[in-house]
Structure 1
Amino acid sequence: MEGQWPAIGFETLPWESDPDVLPFISKTQRRKMSSTYEAAVPLLIADRDVALPAALTERVSGLLMSLARFDAEQRMRGYDLPAMLLRSESSASSQIESLTSSARNVALAEIAPDAPHNAQLIAGNIAAMKSALSLEGPLEVAGILEIHRTLINRNGVTFGGALRSEQVWVGGSSFSPHGALYVPPRYERVAAYLDDLASFAARDDIPPITKAAIFHAQLETIHPFIDGNGRTGRALLHKILRDEGVLSQVTLPLSAGLLHDVDAYMAAIAAYQQGNPVAIVEQLVDALELAIVVGGLTAAKMDSVIEEWKAMITERKGASIHRLPGVLVEQPVVSIAYLAKRLGITPRASLSLVERACEYGILRPLGNRRRGEFFQSDEIVAVLEEISDIQGIRRIVAGKASL
């Protein structure tokens, strides 16, 4: 199916180097720079069709059945596994952009404004994922901008939700687009391309996984923002899968599948830009198949943890501590104030609950902060670390292969 579409084109544009920056550029870098550069002219895709090979179509059919089965299973659980998987998805998506932080610090960042910077950025990704999933109605340009705003502006910057007004590029040096791996279209073209992308998303004759994959690759090709394009695009994958009825209960960690082989993911986007839309569909199918494995492993581990906790707790039925495990699945680092508000109890009752949870071993005080201020669930954090980290994901893949 290579060459199913034309490859993207390019246009020659003038380049003016900043004279204030030139003295700081090495002679080698200066020799690579010229008075012009080549920027991409992507295809308009609103009316383009995609033909998948028979073998891939069969894989997609089987995948859709597996996704429906896993999604339905979540209705049977008494705790919010989807919230935990969304947290894993956000961390894995951020790692693709080389943003890393511990699962504990990311959870801490959601309730503590002084958490480490990278953790705050990943917490912004969690907020963007939630924004994408809660977005009502069809996917339009305004919704794309809102998700980007949620992702970026959490950390005090102001360009979130704004289309870029300058040239950007991927790879190469920070001084000019010469030698870059990819130079997206000039900014004046971005708005029209996003309108075209929204029209593509509104079509009802494109299979859902194919639609999600191509939408994502086209957004990456347009690169409408100064920063956060990849994370915004991966959040939108979940919006499309939800809108298309593929997943209604759960958020699968599909970025874990992409993180497992980032080079293949980037190669698939490059192949898409060369006229092979099937490549990115195959990549998304691979990612979703692995995401089901990761999700299933997570569910099994969390079922075991929750059952152990239930067996330990001896308080009377109806006591607030029985609601604690469900809260920790969603937010594995908590404070007295957070639990009081979340459970609708007094601070004194919250303190007693936390003390009792520490006696059970469900919680423990964080050792690197003022004692007693924050508490974490070691067992849930450990599960999150495994399903959010590239080495943990590779161990899961290796375990699957050995079955």
Structure 2
Amino acid sequence: MTASQGGFAIGFESRPWRSDPDQSASRRQRLTARGPYQAAVPARIADLPVRVGAEVQAEAEDAVREITRFDAEVGALAARRAEVEGEDVATELAPLAAVLLRTESASSSEIEGVTAGARALALAAIEAKAGPNAQLVTANVVAMRRAVELADQISVESILAAHDALLAGHEYAAPGRLRTTQVWIGSNAISPHAASFVPPHHARVEDAMRDLIAFVVRVDLPVLVHCAIAHAQFETIHPFNDGNGRVGRTLVHAMLRRSDVTRRLTVPVSAGLLTDTAAYFDALTAYRDGDVEPIVQQFVSASFRAVGNGRQLVAELEQVYDGWTDRLASRRGSAARRLLPHLLNQPAVTVAHAQAATGVALSAAQRAVEQLAAAGIVDPVGTGRRNRVWLAQEVIDALDAFAERVGRRG
């Protein structure tokens, strides 16, 4: 049986349901919530054969090559800048890698309806006043980084670590723990009876996750096909009370790093998925019916869009950086010059953050920020002088333009 003929299709089982007598509900809702409900039973996929059409597989391989090329291009760009600035390559690469990671985290969060603009994220990153959405996206950055760092040892435990980083402090989500209750998707009903999808009963989750990991560590599958199916299976298992989509997309990046498709960057694949979320969710439904090709096609299209938009973002940030170096009179190696790469990654700073980034005395950090302000590179936020925040608006504009290009359209 091929994958497209149903090998990956879910089954169903009947489970008893006990209504909460104290829960407020209409008579219709209470009648709907009576009796047993149907929960999904995920296929065991660890050793399943995976077959997709030749055209889809060829496109997936082209997408992987494009991701790898983009990763190498940014690495070469950092190397050229390092030679000019007299810095090491890692120092020059870090800001671009970090900004791409943040755009991926923001896009992944927006798929789940958690939206925060570039300015709010920049302020949240320095613990300036920020709303709850910005804080959640900032936590997603940490979760994404945690997953990629553990790419060589993908396991249930490493996935739990990413979830813990994402939702630490949000006890309703049981951060870092597999769920112990039934969850359901696509309905505000008081029970799973009227939901559009009911993931497996929690008693099945741990075994299903072990099976998924056995699939993830296989080495016989085309990379993007492998990633897409693993992601869809993760979303089908839905192992957590909350954060499943965001953690499920960190898994994709861990697998890309593990396969050496990416070595330096987190390519903003979620930004590509965000463009048409309806097609993405439809593809997950098709996967649960046993057809793997739609979700593979979604990741192929998303990868091409991600690389195209990522290239444009990097080019715009390089243009901003070149303009800064032309306008800043400070000598090479000065604290003000050393702050410039930091501003690409973190366009909001205080003097204290400038001191930490450059390692100079507080008075020298103050002078560096003042030099950047005099050159029109940063502007003060607000009128207060105590713990003043300075913002690099050109970077904010480039990040907002990226978000506009990839904005949700489906």
Shift of 1:349: 1.2
CA contact (8 A) 1:120 1:155 kept: no
**1:162 counterpart (177, 181, 185):** 177
Per the alignment, residue 66 of structure 2 pairs with 66
| CA deviations over 1:53-109 (Å, ceiling 9, x no partner) | 111122123222222221111112233312111111111100001001121111211
1:267-315 C-alpha deviation (Å, 9 max, x unpaired): 0100000001121111111110100111110111011111111111111
How far the C-alpha of 1:2 sits from its partner, in A, is 3.8
Which residue number in structure 2 is paired with residue 304 of structure 1?
319
Provide the C-alpha distance between the structure 2 equivalents of 1:154 and 1:86, rounded to a whole number of angstroms: 23
Determine if the alignment matches structure 1 residue 18 to structure 2 residue 20. yes
Q: Provide TM-score, normalisation by structure 1.
A: 0.93
Contact 1:253-1:291 within 8 A present in 2 as well: yes
| Residues 1:150 and 1:369: Cα distance change in structure 2 (over 3 Å) | farther
Q: What residue number does 1:7 align with? A: 9
Number of paired residues?
392
Aligned partners of 1:380, 1:73: CA distance in 2, in Å? 21
Matched, 1:254 2:265: no
Find out whether 1:137 has 2:152 as its counterpart: yes
Q: CA deviation at 1:114?
A: 4.3
Judged with a 3 Å threshold, the aligned counterparts in structure 2 of structure 1 residues 380 and 156 are, in CA distance, closer, same or farther, namely: farther
Q: CA deviation at 1:171?
A: 1.4
Q: Give the secondary-structure state (helix, strand or coil) at the position aligned to 1:361.
A: coil
Q: How far apart, CA to CA, are the structure 1 residues paired with 2:71 and 2:285?
A: 31
**Contact kept? 1:3, 1:274, Cα under 8 Å:** no
Distance 1:8 1:156 in 2: 30
Mind listing any 5+ residue stretches in structure 1 that lack a counterpart?
398-403
Aligned residue for 2:204? 189
- Distance change (3 Å), C-alpha of 1:274 and 1:370: farther
Letter in 2 for 1:90: S
Q: Deviations over 1:356-376 (max 9, x none)?
A: 111111111113876752111
Alignment of 1:2-401 (within 5 A): 2-5=4-7, 7-21=9-23, 24-76=24-76, 77=78, 78=81, 79=92, 80-112=95-127, 114-135=129-150, 137-153=152-168, 159-367=174-382, 373-388=388-403, 391-393=404-406
CA separation of 1:157 and 1:106: change in aligned 2, threshold 3 A: farther
Give the secondary structure class of the aligned counterpart of 1:178: helix
8 Å contact 2:160–2:176 — kept in the other structure?
Answer: yes
CA 1:181–1:348: 2 relative to 1, 3 Å: same
- Of 30-39 and 265-274, the range deviating more from structure 2: 30-39
Q: 1:97 to 1:383 in 2, by over 3 A?
A: same
Kindly report structure 1 stretches of 4+ aligned residues shifted beyond 3 Å: 154-158, 368-372
**Structure 1 counterpart of 2:20, which letter?**
D
Secondary structure (helix, strand or coil) at the match of 1:171 reads: coil
Aligned to 1:325, the other structure's residue is in SS state helix
Gaps of 5+ in 2: 82-91
In structure 2, distance between residues paired with 1:160 and 1:215: 21
Whether contact under 8 Å (2:189, 2:195) holds in the other structure is: no
RMSD: 1.9
Q: Deviations over 1:318-357 (max 9, x none)?
A: 2111112210111111111111112101121111111111
Give CA-to-partner distance per residue, 1:9-53, whole Å, 9 cap, x none.
1111111111111xx212232232112111000101000121121
Question: Matched residues in 2 for 1:196 and 1:293: separation?
Answer: 35
SS at match of 2:360: coil
Residue 250 of structure 1 aligns to a residue in which SS? coil
Q: How big is each residue's C-alpha offset from its partner over 1:144-188, in whole Å with a ceiling of 9 and x where there is no partner?
A: 100100111056777211010100000112521121111000001
Contact 1:128 1:235 (8 Å CA) reproduced: yes
Distance in 1, Cα, partners of 2:384 & 2:279:
40
Give yes or no for contact 1:121–1:155 (8 Å, CA) kept in 2.
no
SS of alignment partner, residue 74 of structure 1: helix
- State percent identity of aligned pairs: 39
Name which of structure 1's ranges 128-137 and 11-20 shifts more when overlaid on structure 2: 128-137
How far apart are the structure 1 equivalents of 2:171 and 2:366? 32
- Offset, 1:5: 2.0
1:39 and 1:183 in contact (8 A); partners too? yes
